[in-house]
C-alpha cells in the first residue's frame, strides 16, 4: 500500500459503520449494550426497531382481520390507548432490561399503528383533525419528557464527561 492511499473498506465494515452511526444512534459500548441490538455486523436501536416492528405487525394484523377492525373502531382505539399507556409506563419505569424495553416500545408501535388506522376509519373530518392535533401535542410532550429524562446510561455518562470537561477548563 502506497503512502496517502486509503484502505478500501469491506462491505461488512461499511455496514457496521453505517449502522453504528445511523441505525443504532447510541454509543457502541458496554454501558449502552441494553440500548442496541447486534445482528451480525448490524447495530440497531432497541427502541426504534421495536416501535417500527410494532407498526408493521399491526399493519399485518389490520389487513388480516380487516372486516373486524373496519366494523369496530373502538377496538382500534383501545389498542391505541394501550400503546400510549405503555409509552407512558416506560417513561416512569425506565426499564434497564433490554427485553422489557423492547416489549414496551413494541407496544408503543402497535398503538401508533392503531392510531394511524383510526385516522383512516373515522368518517368525520373534524374528528380526524382533532386526532391529528392530539397526535401532535402528544408527540411533542413525549419528546420533551424524553429529552429531559436522561433515561440512557450512555447519554448520562456522556453528560458527566462534558460536565467534568467544563469543570476542568
Q: What is the pLDDT of residues 45-79, one digit of tens each?
A: 888 888 889 999 999 999 998 888 888 888 888 99
Quick one: how far is CA 15 from the chain centroid? Answer: 21
C-alpha cell at 59: 399493519
Count of alpha carbons within 13 angstroms of residue 100, beta-carbon side? 8
Query: What pLDDT does 38 receive?
Result: 78
Closest CA to 45 of 63, 28, 62, 65: 28
pTM over 0.75, yes/no: no
Query: What pLDDT does 165 receive?
Result: 40
Closest CA to 149 of 90, 102, 108: 90
Give the residue extent of every domain in the chain: 11-150
How far apart, in Å, are the Cα atoms of 20 and each of 11, 151, 159? 14, 20, 20
The pLDDT mean for the chain works out to 78
Amino acid at each position: 500500500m502506497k503512502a496517502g492511499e486509503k484502505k478500501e473498506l469491506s462491505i461488512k465494515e461499511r455496514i457496521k459503520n453505517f449502522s453504528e452511526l445511523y441505525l443504532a444512534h447510541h454509543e457502541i459500548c458496554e454501558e449502552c449494550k441494553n440500548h442496541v441490538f447486534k445482528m451480525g455486523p448490524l447495530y440497531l436501536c432497541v427502541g426504534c426497531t421495536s416501535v417500527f416492528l410494532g407498526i408493521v405487525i399491526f399493519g399485518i394484523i389490520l389487513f388480516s382481520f380487516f372486516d373486524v377492525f373496519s366494523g369496530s373502531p373502538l377496538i382500534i382505539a383501545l389498542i391505541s390507548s394501550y400503546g400510549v399507556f405503555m409509552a407512558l409506563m416506560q417513561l416512569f419505569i425506565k426499564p434497564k432490561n433490554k427485553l422489557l424495553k423492547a416489549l414496551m416500545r413494541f407496544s408503543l408501535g402497535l398503538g401508533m399503528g392503531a392510531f394511524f388506522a383510526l385516522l383512516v376509519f373515522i368518517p368525520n373530518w373534524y374528528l380526524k383533525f382533532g386526532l391529528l392535533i392530539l397526535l401532535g401535542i402528544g408527540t411533542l410532550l413525549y419528546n420533551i419528557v424524553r429529552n429531559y429524562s436522561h433515561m440512557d446510561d450512555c447519554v448520562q455518562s456522556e453528560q458527566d464527561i462534558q460536565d467534568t470537561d467544563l469543570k476542568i477548563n
